[in-house]
Structures are given as C-alpha cells and as structure tokens.
Chains A and B, each alone.
Chain A
Amino acid sequence: RKEVEQDPGPFNVPEGATVAFNCTYSNSASQSFFWYRQDCRKEPKLLMSVYSSGNEDGRFTAQLNRASQYISLLIRDSKLSDSATYLCVVGAAGNKLTFGGGTRVLVKP
C-alpha cells in the first residue's frame, strides 16, 4: 500500500460546479498535511495547509479526518483556472514529506 494515495482522476467538472476529492495516508503518526497545486509539469505551489479543525480559503475547503486517515479538498464554484493537478502531502516526524500521486481536475465551460 502506498503511503499517500490519491484518485488520479481526471475529474471533469462543469464550470461553476463543486468538486471534492480525498487523499488517504497510511502512517497514523503523520503530523502535518498540505494540498499543493501543480500545473502541467511546472513546480508545485502550496494551496493550503490542512488543520485538525478544517480550514477554508475562499472557494477551497480542506478537512482532516484522523480516525479514517484521510484529508479532503473541496472546490466550490469551479473556475476554468482551477484546472490542474492537486497534490496531497503528508508530513511525518522529522519533517519527512510524502507526496501523493496527484488528482487531476479539468474544469470545462
């Protein structure tokens, strides 16, 4: 089993719709969680950190479920510019970060 797993997609989303996807992790001792966005072989960019209580940044909402060992990302009112690959990142003790394989999202007019 991979340490961090994501549905590769693609998720085809009509513009204006809501899309949500999860990321599961295997290490119950994981301490930090992030979502990154990557556009077509460019460098990944931090989208948001994920806190235990959940957090929201504009149209993006991230949740952490420690009991079931997954994090989620929800995008509301999808824009064409939201088309990208979304990478889940999990950090263990000692700051070792493990990336998921990414979920590809395609927002269409």
Chain B
Amino acid sequence: EAQVTQNPRYLITVTGKKLTVTCSQNMNHEYMSWYRQDPGLGLRQIYYSMNVEVTDKGDVPEGYKVSRKEKRNFPLILESPSPNQTSLYFCASGYEQYFGPGTRLTVT
C-alpha cells in the first residue's frame, strides 16, 4: 500500500530537548516536504527536498533542520524546541503531495 508514515503521532516535550520526527514514504518519490499547520495561519512549508542530499528552505525554516540521506526518509529535527513550535506537523511526498497522518507536537 502506497503511504507516508510519520512518527511519533503525538509528542509532548519540554523546551530545549532535542527531538526528531521521522517521515518515510514507499512510493519512490523524489520530492518531499514538511509543513506545520496552525489555527488562522493555514499550512506553511518548513523545508522541502527535491532529491537525495538536496534540501531547501520553505516559508518558516527557523528552528528546524532536515536531512535527506536516502530517498524514502526525510526526518524533521528540532535541535532546541520552543513553545512557539507547538503545532500540527505534516510530512508530504511526491509532487502532488501525498500527506502523512500528522504529528501533534506540544512544547511546554
């Protein structure tokens, strides 16, 4: 089954504690991206990747890092999370953007 998976689905953490949200796709897509969704602000792109070892900043990259060492995986890294990064995060794959189920992150 073609799918995009994200883990964890829910996470509550504290300020400053590094975390990684994983994203994996099994559709052999070159293009992957990360978004955050906040009430009143809609979906905003954090980072995207056109292919392995190629990543670019989206609209709101501050406070985030990504890596693309292999085609199927595109992890999102928060080196020092802050409360303003509390949000619903989506990973997406493919040019027509198949979305993962989302990760609800709370930073206290």
Contact = CB atoms under 8 A, between A and B. Distances in A.
Contacts of B74: none
B95 interface: yes
B50 interface: yes
- Grouping DSSP codes into helix (H, G, I), strand (E, B) and loop, the B interface class, with mixed when no group exceeds half, is strand
Contacts of B33: 97
B46 to A, nearest CB: 12
A44 B99 contact: yes
Nearest to B59: A98
B: interface residue count bin: 20 to 34
A80 to B, nearest CB: 24
B61 interface: no
A99 B43 contact: yes
Contacts of A102: 42
Interface of B: 31, 33, 35, 37, 40-45, 48, 50, 56, 58-59, 88, 90, 95-102
Interface of A: 32, 34, 36, 41-46, 49, 87, 89, 94-102
14 contacts: A36-B97, A42-B102, A44-B43, A44-B99, A46-B98, A94-B50, A95-B50, A96-B48, A96-B56, A97-B48, A99-B42, A99-B44, A101-B40, A102-B42
